[in-house]
């Protein structure tokens, strides 16, 4: 791999994590600026940032050139334009900060059926971006996962608007359940479409290579339900779990994004699903970042045999390594210098050997 000189060793650690085997420390994706100072292009508009293939490739390359990839980190980019691969008539907007979709007003006399449009101009734009990034990556210069296509439940909430979506769960439960499943099936077909575009020409054609980089020796896809922060466990089971089950049957292994403490009520159900292999947690704004404050959550996830995947401030890593099971732990961190990154990895080996009060969870 062009930007990660130690990838063969890193790859073996990823495999050990996936198989739950002991190593001398947890998997750690640690990055730092390498001091090269390659100019990074700045977008003049959101459309350029998210939709211009040439700009996206130039931005990725400059970012990779400026980054020291330590531990199990690797170069890859998030193709966020996948959010609009099919908007089903809703209008997308592209500010510099993010992508959002202007909600539709649903005509309940003739509600949408969400047919997948393979000729959608938005899908063509996403395909063009994907092809350009694949061409730049070649066989294995860097990782190109699938476009970031939103799960059916969160996409429906964006298309309808949050409040109308939540009301529809009670007022029109049958239609809402079927709409989520239709969008979920469409997403599966879109995922497979992008996999087919990639797998014969790129070694790392699946998985999650952008927002929270993760690699495994077999196929997996990322999943989430941010709207579930507003749902009871009963509604989660009725409306969200069926989509997760569809994805589990289609792809076997899921990496799940748990969005904030408001979703904690769903952790027991998520932990019961055998196809969820990894849970990534992002604390709510204004609350403690990942670290010792959330040890109880990490322990529950690991006790269910799932991998905990978290971004952690450097100063909070030691107690986690000492108190959690390193076989089921993936830590992402950013350091100020390459030397600090390398020293952090060596320290993690000492912390793993040393354990802590009560030791780590051993399954």
Which of 177-186, 210-219, 249-258, 311-320 has the weakest average pLDDT? Answer: 210-219
pLDDT of residue 266: 98
d(CA 269, CA 274) in angstroms, rounded, equals 10
pLDDT of residue 355: 65
Q: Which residues pair with 258 in a beta bridge?
A: 281
Whether 277 shows a pLDDT value over 70: the answer reads yes
Q: Where are the domains positioned within the chain?
A: 7-36+67-73+137-354
pLDDT confidence tier of residue 119, bands split at 50, 70 and 90? very high
pLDDT of residue 81: 94
pLDDT confidence tier of residue 78, bands split at 50, 70 and 90? confident
Whether 359 shows a pLDDT value over 60: the answer reads no
Q: For 32-54, how does the pLDDT look when each residue is reduced to its tens digit (9 = 90+)?
A: 999 999 999 999 999 999 999 99
d(CA 50, CA 80) in angstroms, rounded, equals 7
Round the average pLDDT of the chain to a whole number and report it. 94
CB-side neighbour CA atoms (13 Å) of 212: 21
Q: Which whole number is the average pLDDT over 307-326?
A: 97
Greater confidence (331 vs 206) lies with 331
pTM of the prediction?
A: 0.94
Q: If residue 301 lies in a helix (H) or strand (E), which one and from where to where?
A: helix 295-303
CA 141 from centroid of its chain's CA atoms: 21
Q: Which whole number is the average pLDDT over 114-136?
A: 97
- Please give the share of the chain, as a percent, with pLDDT higher than 70: 97
């Amino acid at each position: 791999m062009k930007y990660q000189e130690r990838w063969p060793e890193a790859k073996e650690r990823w495999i050990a994590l996936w198989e739950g085997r002991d190593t001398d420390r947890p998997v750690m994706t640690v990055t730092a600026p390498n001091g090269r100072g390659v100019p990074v292009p700045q977008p003049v508009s959101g459309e350029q940032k998210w939709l211009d293939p040439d700009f996206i490739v130039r931005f990725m390359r400059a970012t990779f050139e400026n980054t020291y990839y330590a531990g199990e980190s690797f170069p890859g980019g998030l193709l966020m334009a996948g959010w609009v691969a099919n908007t089903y008539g809703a209008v997308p907007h592209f500010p510099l900060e993010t992508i959002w979709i202007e909600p539709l007003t649903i005509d309940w006399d003739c509600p949408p059926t969400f047919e997948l449009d393979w000729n959608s101009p938005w899908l063509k734009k996403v395909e063009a971006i994907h092809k350009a990034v694949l061409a730049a990556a070649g066989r294995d210069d860097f990782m190109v996962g699938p476009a970031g296509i939103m799960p059916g439940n969160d996409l429906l909430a964006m298309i309808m608007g949050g409040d109308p979506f939540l009301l529809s769960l009670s007022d029109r439960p049958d239609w809402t359940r079927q709409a989520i499943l239709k969008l979920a099936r469409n997403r599966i077909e879109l995922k497979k479409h992008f996999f087919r575009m990639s797998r014969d020409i790129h070694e790392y054609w699946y998985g999650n290579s952008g927002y929270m980089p993760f690699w495994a020796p077999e196929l997996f896809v990322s999943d989430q339900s941010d709207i579930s922060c507003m749902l009871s466990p009963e509604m989660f089971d009725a409306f969200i779990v069926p989509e997760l089950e569809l994805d589990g049957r289609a792809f076997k292994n899921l990496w799940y994004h748990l969005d904030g403490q408001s979703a904690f009520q769903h952790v027991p159900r998520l932990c019961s699903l055998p196809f969820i292999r990894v849970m990534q947690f992002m604390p709510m704004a204004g609350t403690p970042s990942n670290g010792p404050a959330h040890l109880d959550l990490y322990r529950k996830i690991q006790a269910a045999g799932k991998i905990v995947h978290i971004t952690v401030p450097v100063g909070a890593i030691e107690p986690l390594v000492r108190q959690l099971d390193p076989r089921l732990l993936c830590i992402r961190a950013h350091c100020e210098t390459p030397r600090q990154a390398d020293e952090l990895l060596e320290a993690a080996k000492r912390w793993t050997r040393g354990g802590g009060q009560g030791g780590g969870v051993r399954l």
